[in-house]
Amino acid sequence: MTGLVPPKPAGNPKKLGPVARLVKSFHSSTAPLYAKSYSMKLGEVRLPRRTMYFVNQPDLVQKILLGDVDRYPKSDLMATMLELLLGESIFVSNGDLWRQQRRMMDPAFEGTRIKAIFPLMREAADAMAARFAEGAVGPDTQIDLEMTHVTADVIFRTIYSRPFTREEAEIIFENFERFQHLAWQHGVWTLAGVPQWLSIGRIRARRSAATIRELLHRPVRERLTAIDRGEEIPERDMLTSFIRAEDPETGKRFNERELVDQIGIMFLAGHETSASALAWALYLIAQCPDVQARMQAEADTVFADGPLAFEKMRRLPFTRDVFRETLRLYPPVAFIPRNATEAEKMRGKQILPGAILFVSPLLEHRHTEHWDDPDVFDPDRFSRAETKASEQKAYLPFSKGPRVCLGAAFALQEAVIILATMMRDWTVSPVEGHVPQPVARLTLRSENGIRLNLERRRRDD
């Protein structure tokens, strides 16, 4: 055990009422939380137009996530916040539309099995190493931007068969940071029952979403034009798979707008969540020299006889556990909202149709009844037998059930490759006086960024 207790989203004073908390939500996504949120089993927040419940009891979580997807559909709150960026993608759709999209998209993932995609991930990690060696990093490095670049590079190579440029990385980083802040405010505005057209910041959010979508749309247009001209195109990337995807029941194919919708969620899920978790992982590693030394020793072993190969991944168990512990402390998607469609009772509370049921990986992962020393950074917990029960009932960084994240294995492999490559070459340390402030909007990022010092390892390290 490291003994490190890193920062977490803080709870509000108990005297703060629901309306005041809603107002505060315009500035901070921690407004729904009290200090006791990390030990409660079913929290209730009554708002003027809608009631929210924070479900933190494992059997109820299982019921919501593993049960009937039509009884507990994705909340319309998510669509309200994300429609400008993701349209009607599989992430926000429900019912027959979701089932049709799933039928069409599942085959596209056949070509992205973790072994098949390994070379592309290694290429992106090697490109990161080259950038770093050329002086892109050093003292006071904005590591969350660097992780955005490398993870976006991975997903661009996977979707489009081409690398991601630095200019594109900065565009995505700046616009998504702005978009998710404004989208959160818009969601809070909606919860208050205010018409969408009066929502503060919606025009600015639309501009940021349009900038991101254009960056994703351009290569789609280029690919469709190449197909129309009869030109040769990549055969095994996800864009080609999506273009050729066909609903086996209806014969429907994605039109151009729908392609961008689906690629939008693949891009968001494939890079933003990983970038968030990797930035937090490196922050934790920087605070714990002993952990870093163990990871560097693993990296030295696997790179000693040549480049990283797929078969060597099993020789990085501690690196994998460091990332798994990071996902426990800082799950990228901290709150998973579902709508209640039927009246029912949970722990004596009457849940009415239309209520929002929040399953929270953030709260589950730090619940005092489910984990030993839940706020402590302890990568070794995953090698201890007593942790297995906690994992089974209260560990869900990629959600669970029919709507579990399709990219879970993808994200774990990507993270281990990137962390091992960094530990081979660099030592990370804290920037004096800088303490990240975690906030959970669309993803769990730091309000003030994550900055670290990077120093190149000496040959005798």
Q: Which domains does the chain have, with CATH numbers?
A: 77-348+404-456 (1.10.630.10)
- Contact between 299 and 409 under an 8 Å Cβ cutoff? The reply is no
- Contact between 360 and 366 under an 8 Å Cβ cutoff? The reply is no
DSSP-assigned beta bridge partners for residue 356: 52, 339
Q: What is the pLDDT of residue 348?
A: 92
**What gap in Å lies between CA 443 and CA 284, rounded to an integer?**
18
Distance of CA 280 to the CA centre of its chain: 12
- Contact between 80 and 187 under an 8 Å Cβ cutoff? The reply is yes
Handedness of CA 171, 174, 180, 185 (dihedral sign): negative
Q: What is the pLDDT of residue 26?
A: 40
Q: What is the pLDDT of residue 196?
A: 62
DSSP-assigned beta bridge partners for residue 52: 45, 356
State the 10-residue block means of pLDDT for the chain, 461 residues long: 84 51 47 69 83 91 89 82 79 83 76 79 96 95 96 92 91 86 71 63 82 93 95 88 89 92 83 93 98 98 95 97 97 92 94 93 91 95 91 92 83 96 98 93 89 88 50
3-state secondary structure (DSSP) of residue 152: helix
Is 405 one of the annotated binding-site residues?
yes
Give the residue ranges of DSSP H helices in 161-288: 166-191, 202-228, 238-244, 256-267, 273-287
DSSP-assigned beta bridge partners for residue 346: 349
Q: What is the pLDDT of residue 95?
A: 86
Structure tokens at 284: 């934790």
**What gap in Å lies between CA 330 and CA 180, rounded to an integer?**
17
Please state the pTM of the whole predicted model: 0.89
DSSP one-letter string for 70-138: TTSPBPHHHHHHHHHHHTT-TTT--HHHHHHHHHHHGGGGGGG-HHHHHHHHHHHHHHHHHHIIIII--
Q: At what angle do helices 317-329 and 273-287 cross, to 10 degrees?
A: 110
301-314 residues labelled b (16+ CB within 10 A) or e (exposed): ebbeeeebebeebe
- Contact between 184 and 201 under an 8 Å Cβ cutoff? The reply is no
Q: What is the pLDDT of residue 31?
A: 47
Q: What is the pLDDT of residue 19?
A: 46
- Contact between 368 and 38 under an 8 Å Cβ cutoff? The reply is yes
